[in-house]
Amino acid sequence: MSRTPQIFLIVLVLLLVIVPFPASHLSGLPPRISFLLSNFCFLIPPPLFPGYCCEIPSRSVPRSVNSSLATHRSLLPRGFTLIELMAVIAVVVIMTVLLVPALTSLKGSGDITNAAYTIAGALEQGRAYAMANNTYVWVGFYEEDANSIAPTNASPAYPGRGRLLVAIVASTNGTKIFENADPIASLPTARISQVGKLTKIEGVHLTDIGAPPSPAPIPTPAPNSLAGRPDLPYTEGAPFTHFNRISSDSTDATRFSFSVQNYTFYKTVRFNPRGEANVNSTYAMKHAAEIGLRPTHGSVVDTNSTNVVAVQFSGVSGDFKIYRQ
């Protein structure tokens, strides 16, 4: 069935309600049409423009209904005055000014949280692939300047800020390719295959965010908050605890980097076929490791923002958890 009549009626109603309709325009219409339009106008709230639609010339309306129209007209609410309209507009402007910063903060908070979930998802994917295919998998991290147009290639500490790249590769023959004591080298491209797509995350910086407070503050922080997270990545293996964390600001690098789509990844988490993880050049299994994230504005890190997130994972059980303020 055609919807043309319904659409026509909807457009007509909108025109009558929203668009000014001077009464003088009705004077040239046949009496019956003028009468119908005037009655229809009375069925809807009057527009904000006085003198429109409801002022029907008396000669276009039958005398027998003049009295009823006058009574109906007297019962209708009056339109807004100019002062009332300006007051409403002023309130809307003030509310907008107050709400925009809050909405911006919420958006930034959501962006950094989404980035954390993306990283945790990549780690989970790498671990699952290693166990399912009985092979070794590397999840690599590289950070470059947010304004970079072409792929960059810099060794740690990464000089760029604001764009994080994450890639996953797997050994094609089920081995770790190099022994831990072998000389530093790059994983041969012929012996690894990319798992999934290269992921680019904008507006974040990979960094240490600091250990949780010790002793724990009172009242006890929520277990999923930054202050309530475990401190193992900052205490285990002291004084070399930095090997428990991945940070673009650190010179720590894997002994065996790999390249994907013109990017070289010097910071990695390696999973063995049992799903056990180690970080960078420390090829001992990690009981707990951490990846910290701060927001950026372009290529500038927002060090004053409290919108900070930590991703912690266990090298044994593969328990990935996100902590935030």
31/141 same-domain check: no
Instruction: Flag whether 82 is in a domain.
Output: no
Return the pLDDT at 167. 97
Most confidently modeled range among 125-134, 209-218, 300-309 = 125-134
Domain edge (last residue) among 47, 75, 103 = 75
Return the pLDDT at 31. 54
Q: Cα–Cα distance between 253 and 256 in angstroms, integer?
A: 9
The total number of residues shown for the chain amounts to 325
Instruction: Flag whether 156 is in a domain.
Output: yes
69/171 same-domain check: no
251/315 same-domain check: yes
Return the pLDDT at 59. 47
Instruction: Flag whether 99 is in a domain.
Output: yes
Return the pLDDT at 118. 95
124/273 same-domain check: yes
Between 28-37, 95-104, 225-234, the lowest mean confidence (pLDDT) is in 28-37
Residue 222 vs residue 11, higher pLDDT: 222
205/170 same-domain check: yes
pLDDT for residue 218 is more than 90: no
Return the pLDDT at 58. 46
Residues spanned by the domain of 174:
95-324
Closest C-alpha to 168, from 125, 120, 221: 125
- Quickly state the pLDDT bin for 215 (edges 50, 70, 90): confident
Instruction: Flag whether 284 is in a domain.
Output: yes
Q: Hey, is 155 helix, strand or coil? A: coil
Q: Cα–Cα distance between 131 and 121 in angstroms, integer?
A: 15
20/123 same-domain check: no
133/104 same-domain check: yes
Query: Which of left, alpha, beta for 67 (phi over 0: left; psi -120 to 50: alpha)?
Result: alpha
- Overall average pLDDT of the 112-134 stretch: 95
Q: What is the pLDDT of residues 158-203, one digit of tens each?
A: 999 999 999 999 999 999 999 988 999 999 999 999 999 999 999 9
Instruction: Flag whether 66 is in a domain.
Output: yes
Most confidently modeled range among 5-9, 71-75, 79-83 = 79-83
Chain-centre distance of CA 312, in angstroms?
21
Residue 285 vs residue 234, higher pLDDT: 234
214/315 same-domain check: yes
299/206 same-domain check: yes
Q: How many domains does the structure of the chain reveal?
A: 2
28/170 same-domain check: no
Return the pLDDT at 168. 98
157/68 same-domain check: no
38/135 same-domain check: no
Give the mean pLDDT of the chain. 80
Q: What is the pLDDT of residues 9-62, one digit of tens each?
A: 454 444 444 444 454 544 555 554 454 445 444 444 444 444 444 444 444 545
Q: Could you tell me where the beta strands, DSSP code E, fall in the chain? A: 137-145, 162-171, 185-186, 192-194, 199-206, 245-246, 256-260, 263-265, 267-271, 277-279, 289-297, 300-301, 309-313, 320-324
pLDDT for residue 68 is more than 70: no
Neighbours of 269 (CB within 10 A): 25
Return the pLDDT at 86. 80
Q: What is the pLDDT of residues 269-322, one digit of tens each?
A: 999 999 999 998 777 778 889 999 999 999 999 999 889 999 999 888 878 999
Instruction: Flag whether 203 is in a domain.
Output: yes
Q: Cα–Cα distance between 256 and 262 in angstroms, integer?
A: 16
Tokens of 320: 């990935």
Instruction: Flag whether 280 is in a domain.
Output: yes
Q: Cα–Cα distance between 53 and 17 in angstroms, integer?
A: 9
The residue written with tokens 């940070």 in the block is 247
pLDDT for residue 245 is more than 80: yes
Instruction: Flag whether 110 is in a domain.
Output: yes
Q: Cα–Cα distance between 158 and 206 in angstroms, integer?
A: 10
Between 13-22, 67-76, 166-175, 256-265, the lowest mean confidence (pLDDT) is in 13-22
Neighbours of 278 (CB within 10 A): 20
Q: Are 21 and 49 in contact (CB under 8 A)?
A: no
Between 95-99, 110-114, 212-216, the lowest mean confidence (pLDDT) is in 95-99
